[in-house]
């Protein structure tokens, strides 16, 4: 039994009732309207999957109903029906947004097939919309794992600036998720339905970067056999993400500055000025301030791109997020591979939290994938991890003659307390809770281990 909701609009009462009865017999729910007024009233009161509309409705025009559907009921597919079918009428109907134009007298099988085709296409479009929504979710902030206070602050800033045109500079070490955050900014913005174009500036030779970003015209250089649209033009109305911006040559930086200020540029070899409405997000793992001092990065461009700076912390400074990230990657790998691994042992979590993660989140993802593929148990243990992680290398005790146990333990103790302080933004209350000691004990240990001065410096900055 087909539960699709249909609206039938025809000024011929006999046709209206007989066709309505037949459609109900083959399983559709049908409402009837004899003129434009009745049709509009029903469209306002109900939601229809499909409308069958006669072109001539006495003094009214069926195209008015079609246009009303297109404007007010975009989810309703419309098939037009006419007794005077011409090529011009068909073209007009399709241009106005109709799915099809059928001519009278209607054959039952022809009408049924047209309805089925229209409903099938509608279902495909709905599924595509659902997939797009899932894609938005995948690349939105919901897919960036982080409960560390610095990550939560970044999430708040993304929500604040997403719908603006402000240039955003994302900084952080390699592997911290700068590309993912750039996509999240786009997906959270009102440009989400427009293009997101990513350019890895460091991966392109200097001679090709300008053409890649701004395009070129035929004959502008050897090998330019035709016109090429650049990435800035391709991202018009959307977002362009320039990764590794610190590697851009000085000559290119001049053009970038103009685009950011005026939204204008000329393709290579052209004298015609292009104007775009493109939101720019940039990323770098370099210290641009130092690059400015060395003369590798223009000072005026630095001030222009450093409007909104989102600094992603390295994974070693947000160790409280490691279990959540590991579980997230574990679920992804298990879904992709069909492996049945339930989780991590306490020793495995401890080993991952001790490790310094020079490759950051990207390295953690690779480690989890490797562990899932190699593990023969339902729980991942340190034995499933690389030796550098399983051994807990960052915590080491030097073996010196004459060193007491208390003195030998001071190094690891200082390191552990400092790492937890860093992960909590030097908040002593949260650090004490995480270490399972009271605040007074933490203060005494910090003073004894020389961490008071370090903490004061970080809190001052």
In CATH, what number is assigned to the domain containing residue 18? 3.40.50.2300
Domain boundary residue, one of 112, 132, 152: 132
Residue 198: its H or E element: strand 196-200
Shared domain check, 219 and 168: yes
pLDDT at 460: 52
CATH of the domain at 344: 1.10.8.60
Residue 433 within any structural domain of the chain: yes
Q: Which domain holds residue 385?
A: 316-391
Separation CA 202–CA 193 (nearest Å): 28
Judge whether 171 and 311 are in contact, CB under 8 Å.
yes
Shared domain check, 83 and 28: yes
Strand residue runs (E) in 336-428: 343-344, 379-380
Rounded to the nearest 10°, the torsion over CA 333, 337, 342, 348 is -50
Residue 399 within any structural domain of the chain: no
Shared domain check, 228 and 156: yes
pLDDT at 418: 82
Separation CA 188–CA 301 (nearest Å): 26
pLDDT at 450: 79
Shared domain check, 195 and 293: yes
Judge whether 364 and 315 are in contact, CB under 8 Å.
yes
Query: Full-prediction pTM beyond 0.75?
Result: no
pLDDT tens readout for residues 59-70: 888 889 998 998
Shared domain check, 122 and 79: yes
pLDDT at 130: 67
Judge whether 61 and 133 are in contact, CB under 8 Å.
no
CB within 8 A of 283, min separation 6: which ones?
A: 169, 170, 171, 172, 178, 179, 182, 241, 242, 243, 244, 245
How much of the chain is helix, strand and coil, in % rounded to 5?
Answer: 55, 15, 35
Look up residue 1 and give its two tokens: 């039994």
Residue 400 within any structural domain of the chain: no
User: What is the C-alpha end-to-end distance of the chain, expressed in Å?
Assistant: 69
CATH of the domain at 434: 1.10.10
Shared domain check, 150 and 297: yes
pLDDT at 126: 78
- Pick the closest to residue 23 from 38, 46, 39, 2 (CA basis): 2
Residue 31: its H or E element: strand 29-33
Rounded to the nearest 10°, the torsion over CA 431, 436, 441, 443 is 0
Per-residue pLDDT of the chain (461 residues; tens, 9 = 90+): 457 899 999 988 888 999 999 999 998 999 999 999 999 999 999 999 999 999 888 888 888 999 899 888 888 999 998 887 677 777 887 887 888 888 888 888 888 999 999 988 888 877 776 665 555 544 555 567 778 888 889 989 998 999 999 999 999 999 999 999 999 999 889 998 899 999 998 888 877 888 899 999 888 877 777 888 999 999 999 999 999 999 998 988 999 999 999 999 999 888 899 999 999 999 999 999 999 999 999 999 999 999 899 999 999 988 889 999 999 999 999 999 888 899 999 999 999 998 989 899 999 999 999 999 988 888 999 989 988 888 754 444 444 445 566 666 777 777 788 878 877 788 888 888 888 788 888 888 888 887 877 776 666 55
Residue 254 within any structural domain of the chain: yes
pLDDT at 381: 92
CB within 8 A of 369, min separation 6: which ones?
A: 329, 333
Shared domain check, 322 and 302: no
Shared domain check, 65 and 37: yes
Classify burial at 398, counting beta carbons within 10 Å of its beta carbon; exposed 0-12, middle 13-18, buried 19 or more.
exposed
What is the number of alpha carbons within 13 Å of residue 261 lying toward its C-beta? 11
Judge whether 372 and 326 are in contact, CB under 8 Å.
no
pLDDT at 135: 53
CATH of the domain at 252: 3.40.50.300
Residue 334 within any structural domain of the chain: yes
Shared domain check, 263 and 156: yes
Shared domain check, 243 and 353: no
Beta bridge partners, 77, equal 50
Residue 461 within any structural domain of the chain: no
Separation CA 412–CA 341 (nearest Å): 32
Separation CA 246–CA 65 (nearest Å): 56
CB within 8 A of 245, min separation 6: which ones?
A: 169, 201, 282, 283, 284, 305
Shared domain check, 213 and 67: no
Judge whether 4 and 49 are in contact, CB under 8 Å.
yes
Please give the tally of structural domains in the chain: 4
Domain boundary residue, one of 271, 290, 311: 311
Shared domain check, 290 and 156: yes
pLDDT at 397: 44
Rg (CA), the chain: 32
Domain boundary residue, one of 291, 311, 331: 311
Residue 385 within any structural domain of the chain: yes
| Main-chain dihedrals φ then ψ at residue 103, nearest 5 degrees | -110, 145
DSSP 89-122: HHHHHHHTT-SEEEESSPPHHHHHHHHHHHHHHH
Pinpoint the alpha helices (H) of 142-189.
149-161, 178-187
Residue 397 within any structural domain of the chain: no
Pinpoint the alpha helices (H) of 200-298.
206-214, 231-234, 250-262, 288-294
pLDDT at 396: 42
Judge whether 250 and 162 are in contact, CB under 8 Å.
no
């Amino acid at each position: 039994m087909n539960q699709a909701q249909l609206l039938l609009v025809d000024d011929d009462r006999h046709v209206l009732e007989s066709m309505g009865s037949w459609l109900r017999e083959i399983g559709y729910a049908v409402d009837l309207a004899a003129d434009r007024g009745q049709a509009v009233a029903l469209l306002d009161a109900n939601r229809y999957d499909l409308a069958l509309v006669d072109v001539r409705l006495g003094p009214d025009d069926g195209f008015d109903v079609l246009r009303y559907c297109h404007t007010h009921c975009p989810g309703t597919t419309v098939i037009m029906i006419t007794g005077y079918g011409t090529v011009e009428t068909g073209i007009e109907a399709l241009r106005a947004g109709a799915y099809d134009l059928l001519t009278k007298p209607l054959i039952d099988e022809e009408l049924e097939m047209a309805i089925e085709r229209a409903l099938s296409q509608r279902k495909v479009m709905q599924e595509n919309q659902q997939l797009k929504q899932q894609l938005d979710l995948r690349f939105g902030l919901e897919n960036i794992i982080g409960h560390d206070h610095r990550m939560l602050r970044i999430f708040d800033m993304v929500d604040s600036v997403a719908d603006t045109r402000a240039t955003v500079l994302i900084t952080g070490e390699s592997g911290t998720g700068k590309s993912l955050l750039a996509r999240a900014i786009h997906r959270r913005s009102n440009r989400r339905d427009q293009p997101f174009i990513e350019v890895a500036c460091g991966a392109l030779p200097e001679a090709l970067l300008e053409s890649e970003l701004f395009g070129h015209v035929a004959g502008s250089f050897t090998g330019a056999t035709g016109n090429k649209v650049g990435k800035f033009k391709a991202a018009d109305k959307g977002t362009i993400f320039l990764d590794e911006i610190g590697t851009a040559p000085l000559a290119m930086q001049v053009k970038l500055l103009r685009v950011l200020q005026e939204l204008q540029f000329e393709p290579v070899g052209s004298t015609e000025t292009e104007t775009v409405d493109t939101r720019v997000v940039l990323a770098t793992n370099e210290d641009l301030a130092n690059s400015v001092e060395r003369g590798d990065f223009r000072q005026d461009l630095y001030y222009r791109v450093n409007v909104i700076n989102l600094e992603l912390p390295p994974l070693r400074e947000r160790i409280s997020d490691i279990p959540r990230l590991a579980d997230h990657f574990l679920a992804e790998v298990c879904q992709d591979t069909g492996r049945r691994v339930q989780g991590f042992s306490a020793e495995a979590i401890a080993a991952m939290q001790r490790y310094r993660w020079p490759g950051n989140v990207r390295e953690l993802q690779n480690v989890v994938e490797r562990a899932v593929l190699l593990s023969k148990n339902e729980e991942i243990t340190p034995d499933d991890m690389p030796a550098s992680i399983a051994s807990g290398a960052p915590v080491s005790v030097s073996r010196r003659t004459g060193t007491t146990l208390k003195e030998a333990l001071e190094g690891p103790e200082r390191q552990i307390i400092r790492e937890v302080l860093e992960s909590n933004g030097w908040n002593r209350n949260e650090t004490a809770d995480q270490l399972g000691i009271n605040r007074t004990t933490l203060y005494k240990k910090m003073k004894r281990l020389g961490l008071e001065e370090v903490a004061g410096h970080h809190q001052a900055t």
